């Protein structure tokens, strides 16, 4: 193998390892776990999967995963139990009690329950990232901080149980980053592939915004702003260009801090825009944004700010007045 | 981190990247992997057709079931697409009749559970409706054309 190829491959391996396994704080991953599973639990709590088991077999159009694994749709009574165990696992994963087992159950039952509706005529896409995030957490040590398990360990073993920075706390977060980047990129590429520049410069986007007003989505648009946008061609073209630009360029967030600072908030605004203007419900996808927050730094900043405020307050306070001297009469 | 675990995790990362790359390259879908094709096509037509369920009350009035509340756990995107797939099969009409019967049963279940405030239904119809896209979307409740596909009555 030529030397330059060896050097290049060596550098690539080093970058790969740094990206995934750079030591990171347990706190960031612990908070991601707590917030992600907590929001997912609250979101899924009112959802009932049992009725899927009541539909006639004409509705059953299994997707690849269910066909390959020969997964059936269970009877409603079974689904009631499966979802009860799943929701309990989500709650335990959030609070961090029996965390590793809970996250494993949350992932395995989650992939079945979240995948189940897609066997009924349409594959929707708001939960794929949730599946990937749950899978990464199920294999991780996300319960080492901000969890009941960590509290119990601290009581039993004392402060020595506080985890140090480790490569174990970085890769699950990066996994969600990569999955999100792939999803955005794929969506952008689909538009280039099927429509090209016409997706931006034709009336297509304006007509799509209007069509979405006719109750044809899994959720109706939260506003009628889509009609307003459709009436201004320049605005529709600008938003279409922004959408396809954000999607296609999103993988840059994996390599550049500057790109991250711009594209990550833009991606979130883009999803909120879809909900407001077009309807599709990407709330579960948005939950995965917790993995972009550098929680350890946020908490350090808040603590420092709070300490600074306390010091300033103490300095501003007038010195306490001396108590009046009492004259003690002796004798 | 132990070498075995690191190797295993690298395989997991590779699985995510290669699985996604495969679906992107081949323009196919293997949930949870996907090429994410939503809204990717160029829409040029000023009209569009859709399948819509309509409830029929005892006195013959029709109620467009244009809310997810009437058809949960389905939604207004998934149900019409499922029905369309059935219709495209050889015995499509028979399949759709069974499916609409199920939808009627589910509507009444949800009504009994007070999950929606719709009236009791004597029958349910499936129409293929066509709209000319209105600049204000003011004709949502008044499609330009509709064709009855099937009707099922309460047993």
Q: What is the ipTM of this complex?
A: 0.94
Residue stretches of chain A with pLDDT short of 70:
159-161, 317-331
- List of chain A residues whose C-beta atoms are within 8 Å of the C-beta of residue B17: 178, 182
Longest dimension (CA), chain A: 107
| Spatial distance between the Cα atoms of B107 and A55, rounded to a whole number of angstroms | 12
Is the predicted pLDDT of residue B96 greater than 70, yes or no? yes
How is the beta sheet containing B145-153 ordered, strand by strand?
B62-64, B47-56, B123-132, B145-153
Q: Best of A24, A66, A100, A123 to disrupt the B interface by mutation (most B CBs within 10 Å)?
A: A123
**Is B99 close to A56, i.e. CB distance below 8 A?**
yes
A303 touches chain B (CB under 8 A): no
What count of other Cβ atoms lies within 10 Å of the Cβ of residue A258? 9
> CA-to-CA distance for A83 and A204, rounded, in angstroms?
40
pLDDT digits (tens, 9 = 90+) for A159-217: 666 789 999 999 999 999 999 999 999 999 999 999 999 999 999 999 999 999 999 99
Which of B35, B50, B72 has its CB closest to that of A190? B35
Contact A202 B46 (CB under 8 A): no
The nearest CA of chain A is from the CA of B43 a distance in Å of 5
State the count of interchain CB pairs (< 8 A) between A and B. 186
Question: Do the Cβ atoms of A230 and B42 come within 8 Å?
Answer: no
Selected residue of B12, B77, B107, B132 to mutate for chain A interface (largest A Cβ count, 10 A)? B77
DSSP annotation of B33 reads B
Q: Tell whether omega for the bond before B32 is within 30 degrees of 0, i.e. cis.
A: yes
Contact A255/B114 with Cβ under 8 angstroms? no
- For residue A267, the SS3 value is helix
Given a cut of 90, is residue B93 above it in pLDDT?
Answer: yes
Contacts of A179 in chain B (CB under 8 A): 16, 20
What gap in Å lies between CA A267 and CA A248, rounded to an integer? 11
CB B106 within 8 Å of CB B126: no
Residue A319: per-residue pLDDT: 60
Å between B62 CA and nearest CA of chain A: 17
What was the pLDDT predicted at B118?
96
**Beta B47-56 vs B145-153: how paired, if at all?**
unpaired
* Residue B9 to residue B6: CA distance in whole angstroms: 5
Residues of A in contact with B78 (CB under 8 A): 117, 120-122, 124, 218
């Amino acid at each position: 193998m030529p030397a330059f190829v060896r050097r290049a491959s060596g550098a690539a391996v080093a970058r790969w390892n740094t990206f995934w396994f750079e030591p990171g704080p347990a706190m960031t991953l612990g908070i991601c776990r707590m917030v992600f599973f907590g929001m997912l639990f609250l979101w899924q709590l009112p959802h009932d999967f049992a009725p899927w088991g009541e539909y006639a077999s004409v509705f059953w159009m299994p997707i690849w995963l269910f066909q390959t694994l020969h997964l059936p749709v269970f009877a409603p009574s079974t689904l009631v139990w499966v979802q009860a165990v799943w929701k309990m696992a989500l709650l335990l994963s959030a609070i961090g009690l029996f965390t590793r087992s809970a996250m494993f159950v949350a992932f395995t039952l989650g992939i079945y329950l979240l995948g189940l509706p897609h066997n009924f005529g349409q594959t929707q896409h708001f939960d794929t990232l949730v599946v990937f995030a749950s899978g990464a957490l199920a294999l991780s040590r996300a319960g080492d901080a901000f969890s009941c398990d960590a509290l119990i360990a601290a009581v039993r073993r004392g402060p020595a149980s506080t985890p140090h920075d480790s490569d174990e706390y970085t890769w699950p977060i990066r996994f969600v980053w990569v999955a999100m980047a792939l999803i955005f990129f794929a969506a952008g590429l689909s538009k280039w592939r099927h429509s090209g520049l016409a997706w931006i410069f034709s009336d297509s986007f304006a007509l799509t915004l209007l069509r979405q007003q006719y109750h044809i989505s899994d959720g109706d648009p939260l506003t009628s702003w889509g009609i307003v946008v459709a009436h201004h061609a320049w605005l529709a073209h600008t938003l279409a260009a922004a959408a396809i630009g954000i999607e296609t360029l999103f993988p840059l967030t994996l390599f550049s801090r500057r790109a991250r600072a711009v594209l990550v908030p833009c991606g979130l605004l883009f999803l909120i825009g879809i909900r407001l203007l077009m309807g599709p419900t990407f709330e579960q996808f948005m939950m995965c944004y917790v993995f972009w927050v550098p929680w350890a730094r946020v908490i350090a900043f808040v603590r420092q700010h709070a300490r600074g405020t306390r010091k300033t307050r103490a300095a501003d306070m007038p010195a306490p007045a001396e108590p009046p001297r009492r004259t003690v009469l002796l004798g | 981190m132990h070498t075995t675990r690191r190797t295993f995790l690298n395989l997991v990362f590779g699985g995510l990247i290669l699985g996604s790359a495969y679906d992107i390259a081949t323009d196919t879908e293997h949930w949870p992997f996907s090429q994410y094709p939503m809204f990717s096509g160029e829409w040029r037509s000023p009209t569009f057709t859709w399948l819509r369920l309509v409830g029929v009350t005892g006195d013959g009035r029709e109620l467009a079931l244009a809310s997810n509340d009437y058809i949960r756990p389905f939604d207004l995107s998934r149900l019409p697409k499922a029905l369309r797939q059935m219709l495209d099969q050889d015995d499509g009409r028979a399949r759709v009749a069974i499916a609409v019967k199920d939808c009627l049963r589910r509507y009444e279940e949800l009504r009994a559970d007070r999950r929606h405030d719709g009236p009791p239904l004597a029958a349910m119809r499936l129409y293929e409706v066509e709209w000319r896209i209105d600049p204000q979307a003011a004709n949502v409740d008044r499609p330009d054309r509709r064709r009855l596909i099937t009707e099922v009555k309460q047993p």
